Structure 1
Amino acid sequence: MDYLQARDYIANGNSGKIVLGLDRVRKLCEFLGNPQDKVKLIHISGTNGKGSVGTFIASVLTASGYKVGRYTSPDVLNYRDKFSINGQWISEDEFASLTDVISRFVDKMPDRPTPFEIETALAYYYFEQNDCDFAVVECGMGGKEDATNVADNKVLSVLTSVALDHTQFLGDTLEKITEQKIGIVKGSPLVSASQYPEVLAVLKDKISDLTLADVSKIVNTKLSFEETIFDYKEYKNIKIKMLGKFQCENAALALEVIDKLKELGYEIDNVYEGMEKALWPCRFDLVSTEPIIIIDGAHNPHGALALRENIQYYLTEHTIAFVMGVLADKDYESLVEITASLATSIYTVTPNNQRGLSAEKLAECVKLHNKNVQAMSSIERAIDNALADGCEAIIIFGSLSFLNEAYKFLGGETID
């Protein structure tokens, strides 16, 4: 089996539907010798910020000499970027080899695992086969019934900010969503971001070993397009390359995780170096300075509020063009309502995703808040038109599966 054959094998039978539950992935992991329970797992759930927080944690652990596996979803720049060790993506050859092994067990299963379940089993197997010291793993959606939660033994769990998202699967209140997301804890310590009162009430009722990040302790913040500097508790002059005030909050949560790991007996001595080296695409990512082009993963109201805050801080004197693409099952009406008035012109695109909302339907929604909107047939045409507008800044945002098309067009890593 070569790399492309492995990709096709995993995608085979994908209905495009989200299927929750642990029975299939648990059986597959049993076939593989339960690799998920042979690595020191740091498990991350939450609505927004999982990628950034996981990046900070993994970067600090790597800088401190540990071998750190990382599993994220969805992929952004390249399919292989969801599987990495110490920041290096899995090779095509190793991906094919591991998939070949896994396929022998999948083919015996009467109820075929979904692509995400196969990828999750592959990630744990990859980390175990490479003797990783830690695995930093993000939930795909929710927590309790997410395939990544097949693991039972965890060093600690992490909860990023919780907001309304995937309500058709996780529940229509913050309390219900929180119950799902803390299903990953399984007796491990939980380190949580600052949360809405409804979320906090659930955490205090259900979690015995709870650490909360304190945003009021983020002080002396200096924001620029070059770097962000801030103090958090005893950490002074923390430097990070990821832009935005919200990244200070993500970094503070990561620092609380690092402190908890130290409390648990792990030696971590290169915190500052690791924090500064951490990079994660699609989070107010400045990909060009002339003209200013920013790619951002805002795809729900909470993310839209963070994007609006960053625009108002970094680009308050600039004329701005938006390029947008969203999924139909997201709360795109609120996303548009929060952001549309900030742009001089807006171009909508249909994401290359089975769940993608048509550019025309998104444009109709935008017109309720900004009349200067056009539906485009491709992201290439949208960006070309935005450049021709003469606006001083272009912001490309929405679904992560849409944003990798933007990186490809703008000269980033190609999608294989």
Structure 2
Amino acid sequence: MQSLGMDYLNSRLMFGMVPGLESTRKLCEILGNPQAKFKTIHIVGTNGKGSTSYYLSGILQAHGFKTGLFTSPHLVSLRERIRVNDAPISDEDLDRLLLCVRDAAAKAQVEPTFFEVLTLVSFLYYAEQGVDVVAMEAGMGGRLDSTAVACGNFVVLTSIGLEHTEVLGPTESAILKEKMAVVDASEQSVVAGSKSEIIRKTFIVGGLSESLLAEARQFATSHNADCIVPKIRDDIELPNLGHHYIENASLSLAAAERFINGSGRCTYDDALALSALRTRSWAGRMQKLTDASGRVCYILDGAHNSHAVKRLVETLAEYYPGVKFHCVFGALKDKDVGEMLKLMAPHVSHWHITKTPYPRFRELDDLRGLLTGLGLKVASEGELSRKFLDRVAETASAENKDVPVLVTGSLYMIGETVQALKNDFDGLAFFRGLNPTTNEHR
């Protein structure tokens, strides 16, 4: 039986995405401004926010900080989105705090969105738990994203690509400014919280072209903020495959160093930070699933747009040169699937198309038609399930047991795959105590 808190949260889905901070600010005021009771490091960007946040939280924990982590979307359970020192919020606390937000919304006579409610729950939980700092991944934007209400002096910008242009702007330049303007909301929140001085902000920036980087520096200067562009480190070891994760980890190291050395509590230890990263695997993103014998059986990657697929194929070319994969592929209706398939085609020998019950998923007929139009054949198709994955794995292993099955195209699909495989691979052990819940981006 679903809880009252989850009933309330699901009732928010009808409001979709509503950019703006008025409702969140009003509710924070009623709830006692919990967001002012901890430090915040904002992570914004088109791709790479989740891994950067996850790596950063691990480095902060290793230095003794009680650390919150806020990410979206989740793979299996809503509880993943709100963590303290890597432990997900409990079902009981989640339900209790959802009802707190519900009651505050009734008092304020506002109708917060799904994402706004979860953001507020996270604020309340981190305040209750007495965290020192939160690595807070923005949802879609920056300036008008509800997470911006938290007063962070550090902003990490991971990358810029064309996505959600109807809200964020039609060009990469417009999207850059929209995401960096998270500082505008933070400054307003500091003033609203009656703090006498606005502390100088710091941007840690990566993944930009030279022209966008020049704009980022100009934006920082106009806001009297520092702009740090860290070098990509060559001494980072990660469980996640791909140079883009090295880039994200480099940003995390730079942000952690700046935050820790300015905290007055301790001094940043680079060796300790690198050690923390060696075992920090961001689930579902270029993640290798290895069996008891050490054989890599699957590679899971939530690449769900052309920008992310480019990184995926770069990584496959680097780590598996000349190899073609059996690929389990599914995607949402609003993605440029044709471009994604074109980019992946040189690295795939067999296409196994799939979908989940989630209503935004593309139908199998649609995927088959797109593949056929590109001159590509479908090897198998069916609803995503353990049985379907096993069948693909058996076919691939019979052909070459040293080549893992690639599963990609949608984070929603990766979530279903994690749920199906979590009891068989130690790399998914985190998910074993979590039950599936509503899976929405916002």
CA distance in 2, matches of 1:375, 1:164: 32
> Contact 1:72–1:137 at 8 Å: present in 2 too?
yes
| Partner deviation per Cα, 1:153-197 (whole Å, 9 max, x = no partner) | 213111001111222221221101101111112362110113113
Q: What is the DSSP-based 3-state SS (H/G/I as helix, E as strand, rest coil) of the residue aligned with 1:349?
A: strand
**What does residue 338 of structure 1 align with?**
343
| Most deviating of 46-55 and 355-364 | 355-364
Task: Answer whether contact 1:61 1:274 (CA < 8 A) is retained.
Answer: no
Aligned position for 2:177: 179
Deviations 1:193-215 (A, max 9, x none): 13113321320221121001223
Aligned residues of 1:98 and 1:126 also touching (Cα < 8 A)? yes
Residue among 395, 418, 432 paired with 1:389:
395
Deviations 1:316-366 (A, max 9, x none): 354411112222222322222211231111122234434322232223223
Q: Secondary structure in 1 aligned to 2:250?
A: helix
Q: Which runs of 5+ in 2 are unaligned?
A: 185-199, 423-427, 438-442
> 1: CA distance between counterparts of 2:18 and 2:358?
17
Give the length in aligned residue pairs.
Answer: 395
Q: TM-score, normalised by structure 1?
A: 0.89
Partner SS for 1:84: strand
Tell me the distance in 2 between the aligned counterparts of 1:308 and 1:407: 22
User: Alpha carbons of 1:384 and 1:408: their partners in 2 closer, same or farther (altered >3 Å)?
Assistant: same
Structure 1 residues 320 and 190, CA gap change in structure 2 (3 angstroms): same
Residue 201 of structure 2: aligned partner:
188
Q: Deviations over 1:358-410 (max 9, x none)?
A: 23222322333352226734112642442243353211112212211011112
Aligned partner of 2:421 in structure 1 is 410
Contact 2:40–2:154 (8 Å) recurs in 1: yes
Corresponding residue for residue 233 of structure 1:
none
Q: Secondary structure at the match of 1:43?
A: strand
Q: Deviations over 1:1-48 (max 9, x none)?
A: x97332222111412732211111221111111111221000000011
Q: Which moved more, 1:259-268 or 1:400-409?
A: 259-268
Tell me if the contact between 1:144 and 1:183 (Cα under 8 Å) persists in the aligned partners.
yes
Task: Write the mapping of 1:136-285 to structure 2, written as runs, cut at 5 A.
Answer: 136-151=135-150, 153-186=151-184, 188-208=201-221, 209-215=226-232, 218-219=233-234, 230=235, 238-266=236-264, 267=266, 268-269=268-269, 270-285=272-287
TM-score when normalising by structure 2? 0.84
How is 1:18-167 mapped onto 2 (pairs within 5 angstroms)? 18-151=17-150, 153-167=151-165
2:373 aligns with 368
Are residues 113 and 8 of structure 1, via their aligned partners in 2, closer, same or farther at CA, if it must alter by over 3 Å? same
What's the secondary structure of 1:33's corresponding residue? coil
Indicate conservation of the 8 Å contact 2:286/2:299, yes or no: yes
Distance of aligned partners of 1:125 and 1:13 in 2 relative to their CA distance in 1, 3 Å threshold: closer
Go from structure 1 to structure 2 and tell me whether the alpha carbon gap of 1:111 and 1:97 turns closer, same or farther (over 3 Å shift): closer
CA shift for structure 1 position 313: 2.1
Q: Give the SS at the match of 2:144.
A: coil
Deviations 1:250-309 (A, max 9, x none): 111111112222442452333233222322101111123546211101111221111101
Contact 2:324 2:346 in 1 (8 A): no
The match for 1:235 is none
CA contact (8 A) 1:351 1:357 kept: no
Q: 8 Å contact 2:15–2:113 — kept in the other structure? A: no
Secondary structure of 1:348's match? strand
The separation in 2 between residues aligned to 1:169 and 1:278, in whole angstroms, is 33
Q: Which residue of 2 aligns with 1:224?
A: none
Deviations 1:78-107 (A, max 9, x none): 221001000000111111221222221122
**1:225 aligned partner:** none
Q: Which amino acid aligns with 2:368?
A: A
**Contact 1:3 1:92 survives alignment (8 Å):** no
**Unpaired segments of 5 or more residues in structure 1?**
220-229, 231-237
Distance 2:381 2:29 in 1: 47
Distance 2:279 2:101 in 1: 34
Q: Distance in 2 between matches of 1:17 and 1:377?
A: 29
What is the identity, as a one-letter code, of the residue corresponding to 2:238?
I
Instruction: Say if 1:252 and 1:92 are closer, same or farther in 2 by CA, change over 3 A.
Output: same
Give the Cα–Cα distance (whole angstroms) in 2 for the partners of residues 301 and 115 of structure 1.
27
- State the identity %: 28
Q: CA deviation at 1:115?
A: 1.1
**Preserved CA contact (<8 Å) 1:348 1:360:** no
For residues 43 and 401 of structure 1, what CA distance do their matches in structure 2 show? 24
